[in-house]
């Protein structure tokens, strides 16, 4: 049997469950997830290894209307994924089949000429009679190789989806060694886990105005303790006040939740030091964006 492989981009509006699907496919949390839209800011690779094949999935930021340079950088990275992969996996939320971003995504997929699949996600939140008309409506586009209802959260439909995509892979080499699940460095995952907790605990615009950079890590006492020093950048002094919280309560809550997840993830005791810094309007500043990894 010839080995087959390919790159597959997961594309869609914000909050439809793209990162949840990536994590489900890989069987590990590579991408952070939150109930708030625009959680993912960078592309995240996940390698799915199998007998005779390798699928490299690329999670992308949700496509949305852009207001700041940060948004633009996010949407640009999603849009350029159309060019860089072999197969497109569009994703929509069963409960929002009319999301305003969908027509332009379909247009871009059509224009690319690449094989495209559609995953209709969150079927655990709907009934069969709600799913059928949505399938019908997207079949009318005559674009998709297959339309597959899934629940990224609970796993339903995911193996059918993988089987369908697999059938579209072309002969090619394994791009990554068998033990490699992602190309992201550990420090990226650390900063993302901290950012996820900001999305969970902070309100309103604060998550969107926060960026996290892991400055350095230190393994002490024969690796039984991992020290992580990270900076959270916010845009204004008042945001800093809110993020610190009364008597430091907010940053403590975020730090504690992040530390617990980091300990589970890296299987080691973690000391996490968070410093909050005002980087004025970083989300609108090209140089600041680059420095912060966007
Ligand atoms: N009920 C249900 N919720 C889901 C499912 N998949 C994802 N979610 C939830 O939807 C929310 C958004 O999930 P994400 O995976 O962060 O969505 P995303 O498309 O990556 O979002 P962005 O990165 O912001 O574009 C989270 O609260 C998830 O738990 C699903 O199959 N069913
Ligand atoms: Mg995401």
Task: Output the pTM of the full model.
Answer: 0.96
Q: What is the mean pLDDT of residues 183-212?
A: 96
| pLDDT recorded at residue 224 | 86
Cβ of residue 35 lying under 6 Å from some atom of ligand 1: yes
Cβ of residue 23 lying under 6 Å from some atom of ligand 1: no
Cβ of residue 16 lying under 6 Å from some atom of ligand 1: yes
Range list for CATH 3.30.300.20 in the chain: 186-291
Q: What is the mean pLDDT of residues 40-59?
A: 97
Model pLDDT for residues 106-124, shown as the tens digit of each residue? 999 999 999 999 999 999 9
> Above 80 in pLDDT, residue 221?
no
The architecture CATH gives domain 4-171? 3-Layer(aba) Sandwich (3.40)
Considering every ligand atom shown, identify the ligand nearest to the alpha carbon of residue 37 and give its number: 1
Cβ of residue 18 lying under 6 Å from some atom of ligand 1: yes
| pLDDT recorded at residue 202 | 95
Residue of 33, 43, 77, 125 with the most ligand 1 atoms within 8 Å of its CB, for mutation = 33
Q: Which long-range contacts (CB under 8 A, 24 or more apart) does 28-35 make?
A: 28/181, 29/265, 30/59, 30/181, 30/182, 30/184, 30/189, 31/59, 31/192, 32/192, 32/193, 32/195, 32/196, 32/199, 33/196, 34/196, 34/199, 34/200, 34/207
Q: Give 186-291's CATH code, choosing from 1.10.510.10, 3.30.300.20, 1.20.140.10, 3.30.420.40.
A: 3.30.300.20
Range list for CATH 3.40.50.300 in the chain: 4-171
Q: What is the mean pLDDT of residues 76-93?
A: 96
pLDDT grade for 51, boundaries at 50, 70 and 90:
very high
């Amino acid at each position: 049997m010839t080995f087959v492989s390919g790159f597959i981009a997961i594309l869609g509006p914000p909050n439809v469950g793209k990162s949840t699907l990536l994590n489900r496919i890989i069987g590990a949390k590579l991408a952070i997830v939150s109930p708030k839209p625009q959680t993912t800011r960078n592309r995240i690779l996940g390698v799915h290894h199998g007998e005779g094949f390798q699928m490299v999935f690329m999670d992308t930021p949700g496509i949305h209307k852009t207001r700041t340079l940060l948004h633009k950088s996010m949407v640009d990275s999603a849009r350029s994924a159309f060019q860089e992969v072999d197969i497109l996996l569009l994703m929509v939320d069963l409960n929002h089949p009319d999301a305003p971003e969908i027509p332009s995504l379909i247009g871009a997929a059509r224009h690319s000429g690449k094989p495209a699949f559609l995953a209709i996600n969150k079927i655990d939140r709907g009934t069969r009679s709600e799913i059928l008309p949505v399938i019908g409506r997207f079949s009318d586009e005559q674009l998709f190789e297959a339309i597959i209802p899934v629940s990224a959260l609970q796993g339903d439909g995911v193996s059918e989806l993988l089987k369908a995509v697999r059938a579209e892979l072309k002969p090619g080499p394994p791009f990554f060694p068998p033990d490699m699940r992602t190309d992201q460095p550990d420090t990226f995952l650390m900063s993302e886990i901290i950012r996820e907790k900001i999305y969970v605990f902070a309100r309103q615009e604060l998550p969107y105005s926060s960026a996290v950079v892991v400055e350095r890590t230190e393994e002490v006492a024969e690796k039984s303790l991992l020290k992580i020093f990270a900076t959270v950048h916010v845009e204004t002094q008042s945001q800093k006040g809110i993020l610190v919280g009364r008597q430091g309560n907010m940053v403590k809550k975020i730090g504690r939740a992040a530390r617990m997840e980091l300990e589970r993830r890296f299987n080691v005791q973690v000391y996490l030091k968070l410093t909050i810094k005002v980087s004025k309007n970083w989300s609108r500043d090209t140089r600041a964006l680059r420095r912060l990894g966007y």
